[in-house]
Amino acid sequence: MDFLIYLLSAVTVQSALLAAVAWLCKGLVTHQLSKEMEAFKHQLQVEAARTNVIFAKLHERRAEVVAELYADMVDFEIAARKFTYLENEAAGTTQQFVEVMERALELQNFFNKHRIYFPEQLAVRIDTYQDELVEKLKELHSLSKFGRLPEELQGKLFTAWGSLIKHMNESLPLIKAELEASFRGLLGVHESDRADERADA
């Protein structure tokens, strides 16, 4: 009987020791995992902050590019309209044509360098607009640079002039509207916000 009591007490003590060791190991593992989890959470927070900074800078840069392209398009439009007006009055000069073409090239170069900031559909629309506009300007200039034209060429001149004006009037407002919407979107201003502001006024 003493042996049985001894055996039971030995098993009980060993079980208690094993339970204590298991509890201690579990506590150590849990503590270590908790420390690693905290370190991992901290690393995730650092990465999230870094990503937010990167996206904020890209967002800011995109807004700058959109605003600059818009301003360049307005400058180009003014120069092109001035040129077409002067051409229509038969007073356009080579110097004015050179100025318009320089603005066109500046606009095209700026856009090509920053094309990545624009959705593909808008980028294609801008490319098409610029290419067609430059061709129409060249055609108008080639017809008008000779001074007084024979009557049969005067019709072509006015057709070219009308085609250029029509192209600008149809295409440019759409592109500018898309750029405006893009810029407002970057600023967080949406059409519904603007409608609410107009309703409140």
Whole-model pTM?
0.64
Confidence grade of residue 56 (pLDDT, cut at 50, 70, 90): confident
Residue 34 within any structural domain of the chain: no
For residue 16, being part of any structural domain is answered with: no
The CATH number assigned to the domain holding 110 equals 1.20.1440
% of the chain beyond a pLDDT of 90: 6
3 domain-assigned: no
Residue 10: partners with Cβ closer than 8 Å, 6 or more residues away: none
Continuous H helices in 89-115: 94-114
Residue 118 included in any domain: yes
Rounded to the nearest integer, the mean pLDDT of the chain is: 78
Is 8 contained in some domain? no
Which pLDDT does position 12 carry in this prediction?
A: 75
- Residue-range definition of the domain harbouring residue 166: 61-200
Number of domains observed in the structure of the chain:
1
Q: Residue 138: pLDDT band by 50, 70, 90 thresholds?
A: confident
pLDDT at 91 over 50: no
The reply to whether 42 falls in a domain is: no
Per-residue pLDDT of 5-21, as tens digits, reads 666 666 676 777 777 77
Q: Is residue 19 part of a domain?
A: no
